[in-house]
Structure 1
Amino acid sequence: MARAALTRVLEPGEEVGGRWVRELGAVEVMRRLCCEEGEGEALRGVSAYRLGGYRLRAVAAVPRRDLEAVAAVGGRFVCPGDQEWPRQLDDLGDARPVGLWVRGRPHLRMWALRSVAVVGARACTPYGAHMAGSLGSGLAERGWVVVSGAAFGVDGAAHRGALAAGGATVAVLACGVDQVYPRGHSELIGRIAEQGLVVGELPPGDHPTPSRFIMRNRVIAALTRGTVVVEAEYRSGSLVTARSAQRLGRFTMGVPGPVTSGLSAGVHELLRGEGVLVSDADEVVELVGEIGDLAPDRRGPVLPRDLLDPVAARVLEALPAHGAVRGRDIARESGTSGDEALGRLYELHSLGFVERHGDTWKLAAEATRTGDARRGGA
C-alpha cells in the first residue's frame, strides 16, 4: 500500500526517493511524509520547498482507490519482492521503479526473461515501419517478447508485427495503464492489453509529460535483454533507450538506413560506437539468445563452377571468352601438364562447360551466356 501511494508522490526515476525507500523502507517514507511538519525525523537530500510538495502529494494519495481503479480494468500492482517482479529492474539502483502498474493476464517476470525492445522514430519512413513490423513478427515467431512504448511510428509497427504473428508484446506507457496515449492508438493498446501486457510506473489516471517519456525509456532498457533501434535522429528518445541499455550492460543494436536520411543518422552514430548492426530477427536472436541460436549463413547463389575442384576451375578459366584454342595452349595458360589439361577438358565437356571442335576447345554457348566461366561474364 505504501509503495502504491509513493507512485503518486515520486516522479519516475527520482533517485533521492529511491534512496529513501532503500534505506528506510516504503512504509517509513510514507509515515514521515504524512506526519505534521516538525514532528519526527525529516527526510534529507531535497530542499524544504520540494519536500513540501512531496508532503502535499502524500497526504492526497489514496492507494486503495488506485488499486481498485486498476483492478477494474483487469490490472494489478507489482512491487519489488513480489514473485512477478522482474529482478533485472533492480539494475537501475535507486532509479528503480517503486512499483509497476500492470494490465493484462500474462506473468510479467516470465515474459521479461525472454524479451527484446524495438524502438525508433515516431515520424518513421515506410522503410522504418516495414523493418519494425518485420522484426516484431520475426521475434514473436521465434518465441521472444517484443517490448516497446506504444507510440506512433516504429513502436506501433513493432507491436502490430508481434500481434499479427500471434506473439507476445508489452507496451510500457508514460501514463496510467488505464489511459490511452496516443489517442490514435486506442485500438492497438486495447489489443495489447488483451493479448499481452500494458505496464507503467504511474498510477491510474495520470497523464504523460515529456520528462515522463524520457524516464519511461530506462524501464524499457532494463526490462529487456537488448534494444534494437530502427530509425532515429541525433536527438531522439530512442537513443536515450539505447544508451540506457548500454549503461546497464544490455545488448544494443541498430538497423541501418540510407546515409542520406536524417532519420537514420542517430542509428548510424550508434553503430559507429558499441551498437551492433542487425537486419532481421535471426541476427537479433543470435546476439541476445542462448548458445546455438545462430543466424543462417549469408552468401550469394552457388554457381555450377563453384563446385569444380581447383585444377578444373583453372583449366576452365584458361579458355578465352570467344574462339577455340588447342589443348597445349590451355595447359600453358592454366599451369598444368598437357595430359592433366586434356583430362580436365574431357571432364568439363561431360559437365557441359566446354565444346570440342577437332583438336581445339571452346566454351560452351550455355556457359558463355550464363556467365559460369569467369571470362564469360561471371
Structure 2
Amino acid sequence: MAHDTLAGNRHRGIPRQGASPHALIHAIHGTLADFLAPQIASLDAIDPALGRFARTARDLVLAGGKRLRPVFAYWGWRGAVGSDEPVEPALPAFAALELMHTFALVHDDVMDESDTRRGRPTAHRIFAGHHRQDGSIGDPEKFGTSSAILIGDLCLVWADQLLARTPGSPAVRAYYDRMRVEAIAGQYLDVLGENQPGAWSVERALLVARHKTASYTVQRPLQFGCAVADASDERIDEAYGKYGLAIGEAFQLRDDLLGVYGDPAVTGKPAGDDLRTGKPTALLMLARKLATPAQRAELTLDPAGAVNPADGSGGLTPAQVERRARVITETGAPARLEAMIQERVADGIAALAGAPIHEDARAALIELAVRVAHRPA
C-alpha cells in the first residue's frame, strides 16, 4: 500500500464531474488506509503491543459509518470550485475529519459506557477483552477505559498529521480548530445535562445539539471545505452556516428518535440507552414538557435509576425502558419532533436558494438534507 496519500489514491478514479457517494466514500477510505499503513508500521517497530494498539485504532477508523463529515466537506469544496477541479489534493483534508470523528466517538462511548458502535464492540470493550484474554492482572474495565482514551487521543493526533498534508489558507486550520472546540463544548454540555437533568430544557437540549452535532457534522465541515477551496465569498459562508446549523440539528433530532425507537440491527447500537441513562435529549425534554403529571412522574429518573454500570446490574430493566418509550409516544413528543425535523430541512434547503454555489453541489446538498434527516440509522 502506498505511503504517499495522494499517489495511493490517484488510481481510484474520482470523477471530476462531481462524485457519486460510493466513489467519494471509497476515495476517503483509501486515503485513510494509505495514511494509516505507515503509522501502524512505525509503532509496530517499537513494540508489537503498540502494533496491536495501532491496528485496533485503524480498524475503528475503517469500520464503516456514513462518512458524513468528509462528504459535507467535499460538497462545501465542490460548491466553491465547480466540477472541473481535481479532488485528489483535497482528499487528506476531508479524510482528516473522519479521524477527528473517530476520536469523538471513542471518547463518547467511554463516557456513555456503550457496548457497541456500528454493530461492533466499542474500543473500551475491545481492550477489556484483550486484558482478559492475555491473563493480565488488575481491572479489565479500567484497562479498557484507559486504552480507549489513548486510542481517541491517537486519532486526534493522526487527524492533525493528515490535515497538514493539505495546502490551504489559514482559514482551513481556523475552521478545523473551531470545529474541535465546539464539539468538545457540546460534549461537556451533554455530560452536564446528564448530571443536572432538573436544570435542563428543550432549549438547552437544542443548544447541545447545535454544538455537539450540528457544528461538527454539517456546518463547520461545509465551511471547512469552502476554506480548502480557498474561497472567501461571504455569501457562500453564510449560506453554508445557515444550512449546516439547520440540517445538523435535524440530524441530531433524528438521532434522538433513533436512540429510543431505532432497530439495533440497523443502527448498530442498543435501543433505549438514552432512556437508561436519563440523557436529557430534546425528545425527552419535549416529552416532559407535553406530559400529564402522571406521565411526567413516569419519565423522571431518580439518581439510582439512571445508573447503568458496566457489569449490567442496576439501572432500568428492558420492560421499564419499553414502558418509558411508550409514555414518550403518548405525550405526542415524537410527532412534534418529526415536525421540527421537517422545519429544519425546509430552512436548510431555503438557505441554499440564493447562494452562489455550483448547481451540482446545490443538488447534492439538497439530497443530503433529506437523507440525513430521514435516515434509518
Is TM > 0.5 for Structure 1 vs Structure 2? no
Higher relative contact order (CA 8 A, sep 6+): 2
Q: The TM-score by the shorter chain falls in which range?
A: under 0.3
**Higher strand fraction (1 or 2):** 1
The TM-score, its normalising length taken from structure 1, stands at 0.25
Bigger radius of gyration: 1
The TM-score, its normalising length taken from structure 2, stands at 0.25
